[in-house]
Structure 1
Amino acid sequence: MSTLVLSFLLGFLLLVQHSKQSVNKEDSGPVSPHRIPMSIGGVVDTSSRVGKEQKLAMEMAVHDLHQLSTGSELVLINLKDSYGNSAQAAYAAIDLIDRKHAEAIVGPLTLHEASVVRELNNVTKDIPIMSIAPIPPISPPLLPPQPPSFIQMSNDLTTHMQCIAAIVGHFRWRKVTAIYEQSTSLSTDSELIIHLSDSLLAVDSVIERHTAFPPISSLTNTRNFIEEELKKLRSKSNRVFILIQSSLDFAAILFEKAKQMGMMEKGYVWIVTDDIASLLDSVDPSAISNMQGVIGFKTNFIDTTESYRQFRLRFRRNFRSEHPEEEEHSDPSIFALRAYDATLAIARAMQISQGERNSKGLINHILSSDFEGLSGRIRFNKGQLSELPIFRIINVIGKSYREVTFWSPLFGFSQDFIKRVGMKMRVGNGLVGELGSIYWPGSDQSVPKGWSLGEGEKPMKIGVPARGAFNQFVNVNYDPSRNETSVTGFSIEVFEAAVNRLPYDLPYVLVPYYGSYDEMVAEVHNKVCLSFHDTITYIRYQ
């Protein structure tokens, strides 16, 4: 058993023991089986921006349900903070069920955490747990079996890896560097790398290296640690960096240091995934200025409906009231919308059950949900959202970002897809349905090659015959007054044209060779230089 699992279980057992002691002290007797109202337990992490949004969204969902359905079964929600800790999240679920008599749980619990809860507390085995955490792309036997009571209000992260691969393949980058912040939940982060690698292979690309950062909460000197790791990456030749998993706080520091170290200049590529791109509306202008030229993707939702506009208006007002320090950044993200829809689905199912205390019946009512939520269509298939996600490709520029196009697992970067779903959008100078004009780091509009000389690396030496018989093919001239040597000719022009068409940068230097052809070939064999002597010779003698 891994150290992470052992640590989790040890911490969890201590928390459960504390919970039992608290229950014995505070509960005066058995709870009536006919208790009213029905109760939802919400687990949130208020130390994060996402958790703050989810907390408010859950409360709003229950409030809105009562406003729309007076006289129906009363539903309450009790919230408990996980403080960003996996063991604490599982303990919170147990505590809400034992002490608050929650008949359903909603929150960012993973399948691993829910499975541990079921193993350690038999009471919870039939209580529905609605997870709003992203589904990690974990394959058996690492993935525990999914019980009927565990319902996932999110999509598989495999689609995120496929979207990354689609972007990489579109620009023909052959190698990438993957970066991620290790999760604080009981999960297998390495599976992200495995699935990203599989997706990249489909577009003839590979992960050259990957760097895992500890959770930001575990670092004592975060900025220095990140700077040292970035120095290692900067010394290598690859310039395509993909941040596949990160908290908002970690990403802000990462890009701050990257900019200070010259890693946000021309030639670099940075790609962020949904967990950062969907929160860009809530970051400070200083963070946006550090991310100029970054591209990414965010889960699409329809933000033009009247229901969303009304929700956004109330959410902004309530969020500012609870978090005045966030006054300028109070728009709800997809994570808030998912929490709202998940809570609403549970509350509606409770009302349909009309007060019956039957967990299996409640699970069936939840799985039968079919309504248009704020985050999209809410339908389930085999315990997961049945609708495949649609992503908006974004490009950070100026004080915010612009939306470039859409991508979907079924249609890719497709204009036909946009027509089919009836969407209209302006794409700047680009083409609708395709990746158009992107502003890359360094305010550059030319697509980066994705590769350049790393620190300590030398350009490729290309040997050219200095005493060729046909100067129109290769001509070497030395200017003693300027101490410069120029190499021109038809063969050189062909070579340069070919290099310019490569999908990556190829630094090289032309080295005139004054010896014989045989000696020049020997230099190639000895790896002193790489010569296109054979090609040049062939052209000359035709």
Structure 2
Amino acid sequence: MHASRCPRRYKCSAKEQCVCVSKALVEQTEMPHGAPPCLFFFLSCCLLLSCRPPAVAGNRGEDDGDDRVLKGSIGAILDLRCRTGKGERIAMKMALDDFHKGFGYKLALHMKDPGLDPKQAAMEASRLIDEKKVQAILGLRTWPQTAEVAELGDRASVPVLSFADGVPSWATDRWPFLLQFTPSYSPQITAISAIIGSWHWRKVAVIYEEDDGYAGADSIPHFMDAIQAVGSDVDYQLALSPFAPMAKELEKLKTRRCSVFVVHTSLTLATSLFAGAAEMGMMGKGYAWVTTGAIADHLDSANSSVIGSMQGVIGTRSFIPRASDAYTDLSRKFQRRFAAEYPGELIPELSINGLQAYDAVWAVADAMRRLDAGGDHSSRSPRQRQLLEHISASNFSGASGKVQFVLGKLVPPEILEIVNIVGSNVKEMGFWMDEFGFSRSIAHRTEPNLSMAALGQASWPGGTGSAPRGWVPSTGKNPLRIGVSSKSVFPDFVRVEHDDTQKSYHFTGFAIDIFDKAVKYLPYDLPYQFHPYDGTNDDMVAQVFSKAFDVVVGDTAILSSRCEMVQFSQPYTPSGITMVVPLEPVYPSMEWIFLRPFTASLWATIAAIGLINAFAVWLIERRSSPEYQGLSQSQQLGNLMWLSFTALFPQGERPHHNLSRVVMVVWIFVGLVLTSNYTAILSSMLTVQMLQPAVVDVEMLRRTNAMVGCNNGSSVVRFLK
């Protein structure tokens, strides 16, 4: 048969061409007269079956019912036994439909439910790669599943987008085809540390999950650094496992008296944690609980009993613009499809999990579309690597926020939401932005504000509106034992008086008042009792080292030997040893006092300079001046000595040579300075009584074996030995 036989000349569809061919065959086939009609029917059916359209590259997904041409396939490994997994399934199908409507690009979606078994997840992923030829795998809410499938995907060059929380930072380096599609916790760590700093909580306990299925412990070092940066300390770290005895672990926290807890666990473990804390009275007044997004992001899907056990809890979570038209439309479609596919089940809200699943499918589909637009690829491995590069280059504003990868990880969100559980509701208090701090609104941004008070009044555990002080109030059963010396010499500092009628002691003084005032400024109750001590200060300090006393209050000097046993507070007076000694005149007699303004060396220097100056003048004047001619050597020497003295007075000899005048001017200026100083010092010595200590240092006391008086029990005795 030739194509020219077809009257429509290739303009008909494949089915119509088959009908034409079948008619031609009937016309050309020489059938015996009276052949049965069933033979004609049989030949026509065979021909129709053999004229199927040629197969296209790709597969038809199990969730797609039309017969359009598929461009590729995506695999998903979800936990469809829980509402979160079911919601992710609905969101993924919605993303494929919306992408197809927007771009006309059809993809298949193959889903598998291996439960929580990592090995089973790896087997299902292998089937998706080998049988369904998927080009990317999404899902995987636990870290063990992510590790198993990432190893498989790396060997098969298939990108794996993980939804697991707390994937270790080294995972994307080990498996280049692994992409973490959950944002980093670094902004939440900063926000929680700001919450701690704004309420001035000095001690914080961090509770995290230690389990193979949850890698949240990787964030704990960052928590500690951020908390210390705001002036607080991590008092205790509690690592919880799903199988740990919750009551025993909570008892450890309760005995430490720290009442501020930061919880970074999965919602499943947090449910048991808060239920146990409520039973032990740790969800009442005076306690504060702050959670990360690992818990707060999933509160929309939590039941009423979980919400009821978390009253007063503060949480940070990813911001979702629930009031926007886009979210409202997407949520309406989600709830409608969920009700249609799971009739009779409680319809959940479109949570952050569903939005992340929606964006993940959109990112992969868009990457495959851009890759196909660039041309055909014959080899699978280079195409898959280019697909990984296209996914990593994604940069768009998705339903869950900014979708952009840096080193295989989703960029942190710019905005976080601060929530407070009040009654049966999750109250949205405000927002946190790294640039602006706390804010009630996103639109009206003001100056940076690091105080949570800007968000308004929060509801804390116990229904109170005042923030906890960060320390469990003491019962007063074990008050601090404060040692006070009863032998203090200065009652203005410490005074211990015994009341014989009431058989009690009264403690007063400057040191006692300072201690009482300091205790009142503490953000928690601190019961204490003063106890008198009759020993020395050294012995009293040793009582603190031996734990007989908790604290010592008094006029106790800070010494190096004492610092080896105890720690001192800031001193309220300067420390040191002072000697009280008699004074004696600096110049006991007035004889030769006119020589005392200058020292002997200065007098000698003045005399030497005068002689040198006189010699210089004589040497210049002796040939031109008649006074120096015709004299004997003794007379010349006498004139020289006289000249050195009279040069300072107007009655002295007048020089005849200009060079001599220059020398004399310099000497007269020096003499004027010396005369002024001499007059001032001598006048002071004659008019002001000058005294000096009779003993100048401790070594003099030791050399003379002098009698020294000191306070009873003072450290001076040990110092002088």
TM-score range, shorter chain: 0.7 to 0.9
Residue number in structure 1 paired with 2:320: 301
User: Are 1:398 and 2:423 counterparts?
Assistant: yes
Residue number in structure 1 paired with 2:250: 230
**Amino acid paired to 1:76:** A
**Amino acid paired to 2:96:** V
User: Are 1:534 and 2:540 counterparts?
Assistant: no
Aligned partners of 2:195 and 2:451 also within 8 Å: no
Aligned partners of 2:184 and 2:412 also within 8 Å: no
SS across alignment from 1:155: coil
Q: Work out which of the residue numbers 107, 122, 128 in structure 2 matches 1:75.
A: 107
**Amino acid paired to 1:279:** H
**Amino acid paired to 1:422:** A
Residue number in structure 2 paired with 1:443: 463
Which sits farther off after the overlay, 300-309 or 396-405?
396-405
| Cα RMSD for the two superposed structures | 4.1
Residue number in structure 1 paired with 2:277: 258
**Amino acid paired to 2:89:** K
User: Are 1:156 and 2:184 counterparts?
Assistant: yes
Q: CA separation in 1, counterparts of 2:295 and 2:476?
A: 33
Return the offset for 1:434: 3.7
**Amino acid paired to 2:165:** P
Q: CA separation in 2, counterparts of 1:514 and 1:289?
A: 53
CA distances 1:212-269 after superposition (whole Å, capped 9, x unpaired)? 3334xxx4xx8xx2223222322222222221122x2322222112111101112222
Q: For residues 166 and 368 of structure 1, do their structure 2 counterparts lie closer, same or farther at Cα, with a shift above 3 Å needed?
A: same
CA distances 1:64-91 after superposition (whole Å, capped 9, x unpaired)? 223334xx23212111123123333333
**Amino acid paired to 1:345:** A
CA distances 1:75-120 after superposition (whole Å, capped 9, x unpaired)? 1211112312333333332222222221111113678866654655
Q: CA separation in 1, counterparts of 2:530 and 2:343?
A: 64
Return the offset for 1:521: 6.0
User: Are 1:315 and 2:334 counterparts?
Assistant: yes
Q: How does 1:53-202 map to 2 (within 5 A)?
A: 53-69=87-103, 72-108=104-140, 116-117=148-149, 119-120=151-152, 124-125=156-157, 127-138=158-169, 143=171, 145=173, 147-185=175-213, 188-202=215-229
Residue number in structure 1 paired with 2:292: 273
Q: For residues 319 and 250 of structure 1, do their structure 2 counterparts lie closer, same or farther at Cα, with a shift above 3 Å needed?
A: farther
Residue number in structure 1 paired with 2:481: 461
User: Are 1:283 and 2:302 counterparts?
Assistant: yes
Residue number in structure 2 paired with 1:385: 410
SS across alignment from 2:437: coil
CA distances 1:162-183 after superposition (whole Å, capped 9, x unpaired)? 3333322333333322222334
Q: CA separation in 1, counterparts of 2:465 and 2:506?
A: 30
Aligned partners of 1:298 and 1:392 also within 8 Å: yes
Aligned partners of 2:297 and 2:352 also within 8 Å: yes
Return the offset for 1:306: 1.2
Return the offset for 1:311: 0.9
**Amino acid paired to 2:331:** R
**Amino acid paired to 2:164:** A
Residue number in structure 2 paired with 1:46: 80
Q: CA separation in 2, counterparts of 1:60 and 1:488?
A: 77
Q: CA separation in 2, counterparts of 1:305 and 1:296?
A: 22
Which sits farther off after the overlay, 333-342 or 309-318?
309-318
SS across alignment from 2:179: strand
Q: Work out which of the residue numbers 237, 253, 260 in structure 2 matches 1:210.
A: 237
CA distances 1:294-340 after superposition (whole Å, capped 9, x unpaired)? 1110111222221110111122333345556762x611221211111
Residue number in structure 2 paired with 1:360: 385
Aligned partners of 2:296 and 2:315 also within 8 Å: yes
Q: Work out which of the residue numbers 347, 360, 371 in structure 1 matches 2:396.
A: 371
Aligned partners of 2:438 and 2:455 also within 8 Å: no
Q: Work out which of the residue numbers 244, 260, 269 in structure 1 matches 2:264.
A: 244
Q: CA separation in 2, counterparts of 1:385 and 1:99?
A: 30
Residue number in structure 1 paired with 2:443: 422
Which sits farther off after the overlay, 350-359 or 282-291?
350-359
SS across alignment from 2:431: strand
Residue number in structure 2 paired with 1:413: 437
Aligned partners of 1:413 and 1:434 also within 8 Å: no
The number of residues matched between the two structures is 486
Aligned partners of 1:461 and 1:508 also within 8 Å: no
Q: CA separation in 1, counterparts of 2:342 and 2:475?
A: 45
SS across alignment from 1:145: helix
Q: For residues 514 and 478 of structure 1, do their structure 2 counterparts lie closer, same or farther at Cα, with a shift above 3 Å needed?
A: farther
Return the offset for 1:475: 9.2
**Amino acid paired to 2:219:** L
SS across alignment from 2:333: helix
SS across alignment from 1:348: helix
Q: For residues 445 and 511 of structure 1, do their structure 2 counterparts lie closer, same or farther at Cα, with a shift above 3 Å needed?
A: farther
Aligned partners of 2:126 and 2:152 also within 8 Å: no
Q: CA separation in 1, counterparts of 2:468 and 2:498?
A: 33
Which sits farther off after the overlay, 95-104 or 430-439?
430-439
Residue number in structure 2 paired with 1:28: none
Q: For residues 432 and 259 of structure 1, do their structure 2 counterparts lie closer, same or farther at Cα, with a shift above 3 Å needed?
A: closer
**Amino acid paired to 2:118:** S
Aligned partners of 2:167 and 2:180 also within 8 Å: no
Residue number in structure 1 paired with 2:348: 330
Q: For residues 81 and 433 of structure 1, do their structure 2 counterparts lie closer, same or farther at Cα, with a shift above 3 Å needed?
A: farther
Q: For residues 525 and 96 of structure 1, do their structure 2 counterparts lie closer, same or farther at Cα, with a shift above 3 Å needed?
A: closer
Q: For residues 228 and 433 of structure 1, do their structure 2 counterparts lie closer, same or farther at Cα, with a shift above 3 Å needed?
A: closer
Residue number in structure 2 paired with 1:8: none
Return the offset for 1:343: 0.7
Q: CA separation in 2, counterparts of 1:45 and 1:455?
A: 48
Q: For residues 266 and 312 of structure 1, do their structure 2 counterparts lie closer, same or farther at Cα, with a shift above 3 Å needed?
A: same
Aligned partners of 2:77 and 2:139 also within 8 Å: yes
**Amino acid paired to 1:176:** V
Aligned partners of 1:292 and 1:398 also within 8 Å: yes
Return the offset for 1:347: 1.9
Which sits farther off after the overlay, 279-288 or 32-41?
32-41
CA distances 1:428-453 after superposition (whole Å, capped 9, x unpaired)? xx988845433221223333232337
Aligned partners of 2:87 and 2:354 also within 8 Å: yes
**Amino acid paired to 2:253:** L
SS across alignment from 2:524: coil
Q: CA separation in 2, counterparts of 1:496 and 1:46?
A: 62
Aligned partners of 1:128 and 1:151 also within 8 Å: yes
Larger Rg: 2
Q: CA separation in 2, counterparts of 1:535 and 1:153?
A: 61
Aligned partners of 2:172 and 2:408 also within 8 Å: no
Which sits farther off after the overlay, 436-445 or 287-296?
436-445
SS across alignment from 2:282: coil
Return the offset for 1:271: 1.4
Return the offset for 1:411: 2.0
Q: For residues 360 and 233 of structure 1, do their structure 2 counterparts lie closer, same or farther at Cα, with a shift above 3 Å needed?
A: same
CA distances 1:358-405 after superposition (whole Å, capped 9, x unpaired)? 323433433343332111232333433345442112222222132233
Residue number in structure 1 paired with 2:365: 347
The structure with higher relative contact order (CA 8 Å, sep 6+) is: 1
Q: For residues 48 and 457 of structure 1, do their structure 2 counterparts lie closer, same or farther at Cα, with a shift above 3 Å needed?
A: farther
Aligned partners of 2:149 and 2:160 also within 8 Å: no
